[in-house]
């Protein structure tokens, strides 16, 4: 538990502090006096650390919110199927008194349908809509949190021809309250009136097969039974009835003890019917949770950079406080205060700031988190098919963690800095003399240095051996940095330190390429660690050699700007630790932003190529109602259609080496017509086939061969956890017939933008699935000269009764790419916030710097330093830090991304060309500069207004 590790030092510090506050009135008085005597300073410290705590808390809150929102299952934890519609009430009755560990049940009836708009031209259709019957009042009670069910404002259960539609369907069909909507099911058409719209949340957002979209229509109970009972009903569409069960606890904690509860549920309904609480739907839940987990992970990774930036700000502020107090603390030591008393008095003072800032920061964090969520929601809503209903969730977990991290970092920094000051030579402290730069050859340092080296090397060796990325990535830098004290006994320190930094930098850049096996399936945290290593090595390198830049400016001649530059540079160089913290904060945020920008651009520009690779020479993809499909004959008769390739589709269960629990996944069968004009591109294929085309042809004609995409049986984004390779074997299982088969991977597609899933030959598919596989998708090639978009629009409008949804392949790819872009944009927005906070932090630090240097400014003004030069010096100082941070972050990110794209196997296969996103970078650069300037303008102007006669009287 990292929480415990975080807690321990804080508990110790808190115990000591409370003891001192209660039992040591002298220490308490000293601390309180300091706080109240310098209200301005105290306020700045609190504001600065408040900002840092706020960003940390906001990061956690946003992560939780996204996690909460993506889990569309809401409160439902188990799914108990009824053998038939008629038996549903019995099952529901059996479960009416809750099974231990659960706190609610909800009977649901569901059927697939095609929904179409009634007005407008062309009419819009959604062939994968779901008709659902559920009691709204019961749904609201389900799981104990009405807000999580999606029915909070939905009113009463629909009756008659009233319907309540989910937001996804309302968007696709442009429906609003009062509109009519046609639903095609069981071979008939039902015209309904939209009474309201519910969000994609909880039961209202219940999704099957496609987790990112819930085109639901909630109808009056009994509707489905009535339609199914019609004598002419085509019963290909089987209505489903089931009971959703919610476990004790919230939306997230619920799923943990699902296995035991499943057995209890099965036992409970056994007298009624021997149903199994099927793993299929459990998988669906797992899938959604997994998707949310990987999404949250990406966010947490990105958020980690903001958190680290916040931590650096905190450290900076408290180090600054100690610096300011240095001579005073030294004075107290001189008059006989013992070291530990001094540390504790300062500890009390720091604790006061930390607690104030922690509490206020956590509260502001809620506001900031909310703001991010609102912006994110806007962004998500702009995208065509990438819609997430965000529900801002303030979880105690996030608040406590944010508060704790803020407190821990503040308290530890306060104690560490005051212990350092306490150990200073009294005189050096009073006179603010920097620690002499002697190479300490003390035995302890040497031993520690050696131990650090050994540890780093060991970490590396075990990382490489165990294919654990952390050790392999972090080991060499740890060893390198540890050897600095040891080696600087024989070689000049600057050289050793610089070399160590360069070494660490180089390693972090090339590690992924040099050890491809170790970094094969790395996760987001690896990139966070990589970024942190890169930035800290680069910042350390700059800090080690910062004095060189001073030599440079001292060569500059002339009054005015050169002098301001010299002054503006002198302070950051003299306070290297503080400067490094600020620099690191900037660089980290910019690093991540640049990295994202490179990849966003990369994917954004691949559209035409991806559609070409996907299309097999066809233009339009037609999905239609599998129970009443648009047949090839019908489609061929449509204007503009040159030829068609019909595909059969089913959704069986699969298992493979890395997923032993059965999981539902689409399967698409193709015949020779699919290969008439080419074939979709393969990333790789079994060598024995010789060519991509031969591979496709073999799969078409040979049973037991299949082509899959590289994200086969995976949910959610993020880097691949497990990859499937040609030659791998997996199992397919058809639940209705109970048949199983083993398939061999012949080839792997580069990307499956239209989600065909597992591709097999039609002959084998028909022999295996029989009547359980149906024509559901057709590739259409348009006549020369005809526009794909127009043909698609005409097909959708003209074949509405077949539930046709025709879209060009390029537009599908385009929308999918937009989703990616939207995602990237959101990430960037998130980071912009990190940057803003960094800039605000810079402002606070500079305000404090102005106060700290008031008397010096007075002297400068007295000897003839013009006011504008004072201002310019401060502006210069801030801009130098900002420019360095921005340039550092950008350059590092460009190097790493270039290196990844050029050398990493994963990306190289996709042949994504590296391109610098100049436009975005320019915007980031200018925005960061301007914002930094604005933030510093206030303090700088304040500095320039300082009156020499007044400043000179400041005793300090």
Query: Contact 379/825 with Cβ under 8 angstroms?
Result: yes
CB of 587 to another protein, least distance (A): 23
Nearer to another protein, 424 or 489 (CB): 424
Query: Contact 707/759 with Cβ under 8 angstroms?
Result: yes
CB of 946 to another protein, least distance (A): 12
CB of 876 to another protein, least distance (A): 14
Query: Contact 439/42 with Cβ under 8 angstroms?
Result: no
Instruction: State whether the Cα torsion 114-119-122-124 is positive or negative.
Output: negative
Nearer to another protein, 517 or 555 (CB): 555
CB of 364 to another protein, least distance (A): 34
Nearer to another protein, 310 or 330 (CB): 330
Asked whether the bond before 225 is cis by omega within 30 degrees of 0, the reply is: no
What's the token pair of residue 290? Answer: 């997994």
CB of 288 to another protein, least distance (A): 58
C-alpha to C-alpha distance for 112 and 234, rounded to whole angstroms: 13
CB of 69 to another protein, least distance (A): 51
Nearer to another protein, 122 or 866 (CB): 866
CB of 875 to another protein, least distance (A): 17
CB of 343 to another protein, least distance (A): 23
CB of 559 to another protein, least distance (A): 5
Nearer to another protein, 12 or 859 (CB): 859
Strand partners, 133: 109
Nearer to another protein, 404 or 567 (CB): 567
C-alpha to C-alpha distance for 294 and 70, rounded to whole angstroms: 10
With 0-12 / 13-18 / 19 or more C-beta atoms within 10 angstroms meaning exposed / middle / buried, residue 392 is middle
Q: Are strands 162-166 and 188-198 parallel, antiparallel or unpaired?
A: parallel
Instruction: State whether the Cα torsion 22-23-25-29 is positive or negative.
Output: negative
Nearer to another protein, 672 or 953 (CB): 953
C-alpha to C-alpha distance for 604 and 598, rounded to whole angstroms: 10
Give 520-523 contacts, CB < 8 A, sequence gap 24+. Answer: 520/467, 521/719, 521/720, 521/721, 521/722, 521/723, 522/469, 522/719, 523/297, 523/301, 523/718, 523/719, 523/721
CB of 35 to another protein, least distance (A): 24
Strand partners, 237: none
CB of 316 to another protein, least distance (A): 18
Nearer to another protein, 561 or 819 (CB): 561
CB of 427 to another protein, least distance (A): 10
CB of 428 to another protein, least distance (A): 8
Hey, how many other C-beta atoms are within 10 angstroms of the C-beta on 719? Answer: 15
Nearer to another protein, 565 or 588 (CB): 565
- By C-alpha distance, which of 56, 216, 52 is closest to 136? 216
Contacts of 111 (CB under 8 A, 6+ apart): 130, 131, 185, 186, 224, 227, 228, 237, 238, 239, 240
Three-point CA angle 14, 18, 23, nearest 5° = 150
C-alpha to C-alpha distance for 170 and 168, rounded to whole angstroms: 5
CB of 955 to another protein, least distance (A): 9
Three-point CA angle 431, 432, 437, nearest 5° = 115
CB of 874 to another protein, least distance (A): 14
Nearer to another protein, 490 or 863 (CB): 863
Provide the H-helix boundaries in 488-515: 493-514
C-alpha to C-alpha distance for 952 and 869, rounded to whole angstroms: 18
Nearer to another protein, 71 or 553 (CB): 553
Distance of CA 598 to the CA centre of its chain: 17
Nearer to another protein, 567 or 795 (CB): 567
Nearer to another protein, 243 or 860 (CB): 860
Q: How far is CA 514 from CA 23, 641, 810, in A?
A: 59, 51, 37
C-alpha to C-alpha distance for 747 and 686, rounded to whole angstroms: 6
- DSSP 3-state percent helix, strand, coil across the chain (nearest 5): 60, 15, 25
CB of 866 to another protein, least distance (A): 5
Provide the H-helix boundaries in 194-239: 223-229
Nearer to another protein, 114 or 944 (CB): 944
Nearer to another protein, 156 or 554 (CB): 554
Virtual torsion, Cα 587, 591, 594, 596, nearest 10 deg? -140
Nearer to another protein, 772 or 852 (CB): 852
**H/E run at residue 856:** helix 854-862
Nearer to another protein, 860 or 882 (CB): 860
Residues engaged in binding another protein (CB under 8 A)? 431-434, 554-559, 562-563, 567, 570-571, 573-574, 855-856, 859-868, 947-949, 952-953, 956
Nearer to another protein, 409 or 860 (CB): 860
CB of 863 to another protein, least distance (A): 6
Quickly list DSSP for 290-336: HHHHHHHHHHHHHHHHHHHHHHHHHHHHHHHHHHHHHHHHHHHHHTT
C-alpha to C-alpha distance for 484 and 489, rounded to whole angstroms: 9
CB of 868 to another protein, least distance (A): 7
Query: Contact 708/649 with Cβ under 8 angstroms?
Result: no
């Amino acid at each position: 538990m990292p929480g415990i590790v975080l807690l321990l030092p804080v508990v110790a510090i808190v115990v000591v502090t409370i003891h001192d506050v209660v039992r040591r009135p002298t220490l308490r008085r000293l601390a309180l006096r300091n706080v109240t005597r310098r209200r301005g300073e105290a306020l700045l410290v609190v504001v600065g650390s408040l900002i840092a705590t706020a960003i940390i808390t906001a990061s956690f809150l946003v992560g939780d919110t996204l996690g909460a929102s993506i889990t569309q299952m809401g409160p439902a934890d188990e799914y108990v199927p009824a053998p038939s519609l008629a038996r549903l009430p019995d099952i529901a009755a059996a479960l009416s008194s809750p099974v231990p560990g659960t706190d609610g049940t909800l009977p649901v009836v569901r059927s697939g349908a095609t929904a179409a708009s009634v007005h407008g031209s062309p009419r819009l259709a959604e062939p994968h809509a779901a008709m659902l019957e559920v009691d709204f009042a019961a749904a609201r009670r389900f799981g104990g949190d009405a807000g999580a069910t999606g029915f909070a404002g939905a009113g009463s259960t629909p009756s008659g021809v009233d319907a309540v539609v989910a937001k996804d369907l309302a968007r696709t069909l442009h429906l609003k309250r009062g509109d009519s909507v046609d639903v095609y099911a069981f071979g008939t058409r039902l015209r309904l009136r939209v009474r309201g719209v519910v969000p994609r949340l909880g039961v209202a957002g219940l999704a099957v097969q496609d987790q990112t979209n819930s085109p639901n229509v909630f109808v009056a109970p009994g509707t489905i039974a009535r339609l199914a009972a019609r004598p002419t009903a085509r019963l290909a569409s089987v209505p489903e009835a089931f009971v959703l069960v919610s476990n004790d606890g919230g939306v997230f904690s619920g799923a943990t003890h699902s296995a035991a509860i499943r057995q209890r549920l099965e036992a409970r309904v056994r007298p009624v019917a021997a149903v199994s609480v099927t793993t299929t739907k459990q998988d669906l839940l797992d899938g959604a949770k997994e998707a949310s987990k990987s999404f949250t992970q990406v966010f947490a990774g990105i958020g980690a950079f903001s958190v680290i930036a916040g931590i650096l700000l905190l450290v900076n502020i408290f180090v600054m406080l100690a610096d300011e107090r240095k001579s005073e603390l030294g004075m107290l030591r001189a008059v006989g205060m013992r070291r530990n008393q001094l540390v504790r008095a300062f500890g009390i003072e720091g604790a006061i700031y930390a607690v104030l800032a922690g509490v206020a920061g956590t509260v502001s964090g809620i506001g900031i988190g909310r703001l991010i969520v609102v912006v994110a929601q806007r962004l998500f809503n702009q995208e065509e098919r990438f819609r997430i209903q965000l529900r801002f969730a303030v979880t105690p977990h996030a608040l406590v963690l944010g508060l704790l991290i803020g407190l821990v970092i503040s308290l530890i920094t306060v104690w560490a800095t005051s212990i350092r000051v306490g150990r200073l030579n009294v005189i050096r402290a009073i006179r603010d003399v920097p620690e002499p730069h002697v190479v300490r050859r003390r035995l302890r340092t040497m031993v520690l240095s050696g131990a650090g080296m050994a540890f780093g090397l060991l970490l590396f060796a075990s990382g490489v051996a165990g294919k654990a990325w952390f050790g392999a990535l972090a080991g060499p830098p740890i060893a390198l940095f540890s050897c600095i004290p040891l080696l600087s006994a024989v070689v000049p320190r600057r050289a050793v330190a610089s070399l160590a930094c360069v070494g660490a930098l180089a390693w972090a850049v090339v590690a992924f390429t040099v050890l491809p096996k170790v970094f094969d399936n790395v996760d987001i945290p690896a990139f966070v660690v990589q970024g942190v290593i890169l930035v800290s090595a680069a910042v350390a390198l700059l800090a080690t050699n910062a004095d060189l830049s001073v030599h440079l400016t001292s060569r500059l001649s002339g009054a005015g700007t050169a002098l301001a530059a010299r002054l503006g540079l002198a302070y950051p160089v003299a306070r290297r630790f503080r400067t490094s913290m600020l620099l690191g904060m900037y660089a980290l945020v910019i690093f991540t932003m640049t990295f994202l920008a490179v990849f966003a651009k990369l994917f954004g520009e691949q559209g035409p190529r991806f559609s070409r690779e996907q299309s097999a020479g066809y233009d339009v993809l037609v999905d239609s109602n599998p129970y009443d499909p648009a047949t090839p004959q019908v489609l061929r008769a449509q204007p503009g259609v040159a030829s068609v390739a019909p595909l059969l589709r089913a959704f069986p269960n699969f298992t493979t080496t890395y997923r032993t629990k059965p999981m539902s996944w689409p399967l698409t069968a193709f015949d020779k017509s699919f290969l008439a004009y080419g074939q979709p591109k393969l990333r790789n294929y079994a060598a024995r086939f010789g060519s991509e085309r031969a591979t496709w042809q073999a799969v078409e004609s040979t049973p037991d061969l299949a082509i899959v995409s590289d994200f086969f049986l995976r949910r959610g984004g993020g880097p691949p956890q497990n990859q499937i390779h040609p030659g791998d074997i997996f199992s397919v299982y058809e639940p209705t017939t109970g048949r199983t088969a083993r398939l061999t991977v012949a080839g792997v597609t580069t990307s499956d933008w239209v989600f065909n899933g597992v591709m097999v030959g039609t002959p084998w598919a028909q022999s295996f699935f029989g009547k359980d596989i149906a024509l559901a998708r057709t590739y259409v090639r348009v006549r020369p000269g005809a526009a794909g978009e127009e043909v698609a629009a005409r097909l959708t409008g003209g074949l509405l009764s077949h539930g046709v949804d025709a879209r060009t392949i390029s537009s599908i790819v385009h929308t999918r790419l937009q989703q990616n872009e939207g995602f990237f944009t959101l990430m960037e927005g998130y980071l912009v916030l990190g940057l803003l906070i960094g800039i605000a932090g810079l402002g606070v630090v500079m305000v404090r710097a102005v106060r700290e240097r008031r008397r010096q400014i007075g002297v400068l003004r007295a000897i003839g330093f013009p006011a504008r030069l004072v201002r310019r010096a401060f502006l210069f100082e801030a801009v130098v830090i900002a420019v360095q941070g921005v340039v550092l972050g950008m350059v590092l990110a460009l190097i790493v991304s270039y290196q990844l794209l050029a050398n990493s196997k994963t990306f190289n296969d996709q042949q994504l060309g590296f391109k610098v996103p100049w436009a975005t970078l320019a915007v980031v650069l200018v925005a960061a500069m301007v914002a930094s300037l604005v933030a510093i303008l206030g303090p700088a102007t304040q500095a320039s207004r300082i009156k020499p006669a007044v400043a000179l009287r400041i005793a300090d």
